[in-house]
């Protein structure tokens, strides 16, 4: 089976989790990876030319905190160039690799690729816990706005996946087609 696997470039948690999954998949499947920034560099060192560099989303920081306004303006400013760059990657990828399945670890390029070409999509990440689970926790009033923003982004990030695999240490009620996996699962 041919699999396209998308890994976001922000942070390294997605990349380190995906590395383990990709190594496992490569035992029986042909896998291509799309990623950006630090995650691209990390994964490219391990998997070489299987990893294709794309332009990804960036968080902007001010005083060691995510700046919502700066993140929004940076995204809007860089979007045209990034879309053109990634469109060229779409074209090259469709000519050289026709995946049977797409896996997104909270990554947009792979999600959009799956939707554009009507390819089955799986989501593997920890963040979907915000949108795919019934959380019974009290959100502090000063964090309710941040929580709602994170949940809204998560709802929009990988909608309509065939299945959602969530890595987490706790379990709660799940929505349809959603499954838990402990990060220590063998």
pTM of the model as a whole: 0.86
CA dist 34 to 70, 111, 135, 138, 164, Å? 25, 11, 31, 36, 19
- Residue 85 makes CB contacts below 8 A (sequence gap 6+) with 54, 55
- Residue 97 makes CB contacts below 8 A (sequence gap 6+) with 2, 4, 32
The alpha carbon of residue 47 and the mean position of all alpha carbons in its chain are separated, in whole angstroms, by: 18
- For the stretch 3-34, pLDDT in tens is 999 999 887 888 999 999 999 999 999 999 99
Nearest to 123 by CA among 137, 133, 134, 138: 133
Round to whole Å and give the CA distance between 85 and 151. 28
Four-residue CA torsion sign, 87, 154, 100, 51: positive
- For the stretch 76-109, pLDDT in tens is 787 778 777 777 777 788 788 899 999 999 998 8
- For the stretch 115-170, pLDDT in tens is 989 999 999 998 888 888 888 889 899 989 888 888 888 888 899 999 999 888 87
Say if residues 119 and 98 touch (Cβ distance below 8 Å): no
Nearest to 11 by CA among 55, 34, 48, 42: 42
Say if residues 80 and 61 touch (Cβ distance below 8 Å): no
């Amino acid at each position: 089976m041919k699999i396209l696997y998308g890994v976001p470039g922000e942070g390294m948690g997605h990349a380190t989790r995906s590395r383990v999954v990709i190594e496992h998949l490569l035992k029986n499947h042909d896998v291509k990876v799309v990623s950006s920034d630090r995650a691209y560099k990390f994964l490219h060192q391990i998997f070489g030319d299987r990893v294709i560099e794309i332009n990804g989303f960036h968080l902007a920081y001010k005083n060691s905190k995510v700046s919502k306004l700066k993140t929004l303006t940076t995204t809007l400013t860089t979007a045209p160039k990034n879309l053109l760059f990634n469109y060229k990657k779409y074209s090259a990828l469709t000519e050289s690799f026709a995946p049977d399945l797409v896996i997104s670890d909270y990554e947009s390029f792979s999600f959009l690729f799956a939707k554009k070409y009507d390819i089955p999509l799986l989501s593997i990440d920890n963040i979907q816990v915000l949108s795919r689970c019934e959380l019974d926790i009290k959100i502090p009033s000063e964090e309710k706005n941040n929580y709602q923003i994170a949940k809204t982004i998560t709802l929009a990030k990988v909608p309509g996946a065939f299945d959602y695999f969530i890595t987490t240490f706790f379990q709660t009620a799940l929505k349809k087609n959603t499954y838990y996996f402990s990060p220590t699962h063998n």
